[in-house]
Amino acid sequence: MALINSGAQLLGKLRISDDAAGFQDLLHLLAEHGDSPDDPIPVAIETSRGLLVACLRASGRRVYAINPMAVARYRDRHAVSRKKSDRQDAVVLANILRTDASLHRPLPHDSDLVKAIAVLARAQQDAVWDRTRAHNRLRSHLREYYPAILEAFAAKRERLLSREARTILVIAPTPAEATRLTRHRLRTAVIRAGRQRRIEAETDRLLEVFRRTWLRQPALVEQAMGRQTLALLAQLDAACQACDDLASDTEKLFLQHPDAEIITSFPGLAVLTGARILAEIGDDRSRFVQAGHLKAYAGSAPVTRESGKSRRVVHRRIKNSRLAATGRHWAFAALTASPGAHAHYNRRRDTGDRYHAALRNLFNRMLGQLHHCLTNHQKFDEAIAFSPSVPLAAAA
Measured from the Cβ of residue 335, the count of other Cβ atoms closer than 10 Å reads 19
Burial (CB count within 10 angstroms: exposed 0-12, middle 13-18, buried 19+), residue 376: exposed
Is residue 394 pLDDT above 50, yes or no? Answer: no
Is residue 297 pLDDT above 80, yes or no? Answer: yes
Greater confidence (134 vs 81) lies with 134
* pTM metric for this prediction: 0.85
Best-predicted range by mean pLDDT (12-16, 19-23, 378-382):
378-382
Alpha helices in the chain (DSSP H): 20-32, 51-58, 68-75, 86-100, 112-142, 147-152, 163-171, 175-179, 183-192, 199-210, 219-254, 260-263, 271-281, 291-298, 321-337, 339-350, 355-376, 382-385, 392-395
Strand-strand pairing, 43-45 and 63-65: parallel
Q: Say if residues 257 and 275 touch (Cβ distance below 8 Å).
A: no
Greater confidence (164 vs 60) lies with 164
Best-predicted range by mean pLDDT (54-68, 327-341, 380-394):
327-341
Is residue 395 pLDDT above 70, yes or no? Answer: no
Question: For residue 34, what pLDDT band results from cuts at 50, 70 and 90?
Answer: confident
Tell me the mean pLDDT in the region 2-25: 85
Question: For residue 389, what pLDDT band results from cuts at 50, 70 and 90?
Answer: low
Strand-strand pairing, 2-4 and 10-13: antiparallel
Tell me the mean pLDDT in the region 373-383: 94
Q: Say if residues 253 and 207 touch (Cβ distance below 8 Å).
A: no
Q: Whole-number mean pLDDT of the chain?
A: 90
